[in-house]
A and B are shown apart, each in its own frame.
Chain A
Amino acid sequence: MKNRLETLRKERGIRQEELAETLEVSRQTIGSLENGRYNPSILLAFKISRYFGLPIEEIFIYEENANE
């Protein structure tokens, strides 16, 4: 699943460490999310969505054929 996390974070001038601290996850998790190596749980996705004040589908892009 692709996401716009890195773009949104950079637009707001936030460092990975700051975002990680606010969301109470490790910095590595933020890095993995941004690289698309890790898909967040629904709880973390909601936390991220609330943090940026955007709907989940505007941050995470679900692709039907991503796993094929």
Chain B
Amino acid sequence: MNKKTWLFAVLLILGIALIGLSFIFKADSTKAVQGIMLGIGAGLMGMSLARLSMIKHVENNPDLGRQAEIDMKDERNVMIRAKAKAASADVTRWFIMSLAFLMILINAPLWTTLCVVGVYLLYHVLALVFMSYYQKKM
């Protein structure tokens, strides 16, 4: 078994364990903990199963695996992915700002509005951090 298979096998077991353990927290006071454990457990289980089946599929079809690797590293595809991520982040930024105004309009508690504005500011701070990082790196 290679490193990736081990990693996803461990994550799968962790996901199943989290789902199993979540049933301990049935009480009303720990419902939130149960929900979080179920959510993370199901997410880990789904992702690990998908990745493990992908690894198995590639093992049985080495040509497919090589093509997938070429497609992943292909410079045009890398550029397309980076541009798509940047464009989706830009669009999401406007949605977050609109959400902040919506919060004000519906008289939502101040902390929720501040949280949304915080996320908006975080976007700009992260953009500056990454710009500085890439300016030094490139």
Interface residues of A (CB under 8 A from B): 20-21, 24-26, 28-29, 32, 38, 40-41, 43-44
Contact = CB atoms under 8 A, between A and B. Distances in A.
Interface residues of B, number: 7
Contacts of A26: 70-71, 74, 76-77
A24 to B, nearest CB: 6
A38 B76 contact: yes
Contacts of B76: 25-26, 28-29, 32, 38
Contacts, number: 24
Q: Classify the interface of chain B: helix, strand, loop or mixed.
A: helix
Contacts of B71: 26
24 contacts: A20-B70, A21-B70, A24-B70, A24-B73, A25-B70, A25-B74, A25-B75, A25-B76, A26-B70, A26-B71, A26-B74, A26-B76, A26-B77, A28-B76, A29-B74, A29-B75, A29-B76, A29-B77, A32-B76, A38-B76, A40-B75, A41-B75, A43-B75, A44-B75
